Amino acid sequence: MLIIREGTTDDNPGLARLRTIWADEQEPSDIEDPEFERTFLDWAKANPRQVLVAEQDGELIGMLNVMVFHRMPKPGKAASCWCYFGNVYVLPQHRNAGIGGKLVQAAIEFSRSIGAARIVLSPSSESRRLYERLGFKPAKELSLLEF
């Protein structure tokens, strides 16, 4: 049975495993990195965010993280925030079953629940259609400086 839920710190070793599989999928390597889980756990502790996970039969099979940016307050205006979705990943053997869409939909619901003014993301060419189906459109007002 598939469960989409908010991640907890107990999920971090499983998230590190997903990240390792994803990295190897993007750039296959025979390099062993026995310190990676510790590196990931340190990163997760230093970079708090809302994580959503897809779990099936007790195993994490997908993830998405939401970074919430709180805007600088303005006099006479209600506080506001916006969200960035990143690191959306589903194990290859579980793709094309709607899991990515369920993760994104749960993240949209989370963003609405906290009153976010907008959601921003940087889709891969493979995920662009998924986001379009969920109502995302290309951004026109953002600028980028790459290093």
93-111: pLDDT as tens digits:
999 999 999 999 999 999 9
CATH 3.40.630.30 is right for the domain spanning 2-133:
yes
CA angle 115, 119, 44 (to 5 degrees): 90
Helix/strand/coil for 64: strand
What residues form DSSP beta bridges with 89? 63
Residue 88: which pLDDT band, with cuts at 50, 70 and 90?
very high
pLDDT in tens, 22-68: 999 988 887 789 999 999 999 999 999 999 999 999 999 999 999 99
Q: How many CB atoms lie within 10 A of CB 62?
A: 23
Domain boundaries, the chain: 2-133
Total residue count of the chain as it appears in this document: 147
What residues form DSSP beta bridges with 6? 52
Single-letter amino acid, residue 4: I
The pLDDT of residue 39 is 96
Q: Which helix (H) or strand (E) holds 84?
A: strand 81-90
Q: Is the pTM of this model over 0.95?
A: no
Angstrom distances, CA of residue 9 to CA of 13, 41, 45, 46, 95 = 8, 9, 9, 12, 25
Q: Residues of the chain with pLDDT > 90: what percent?
A: 83
Residue 87 has pLDDT above 90, yes or no: yes
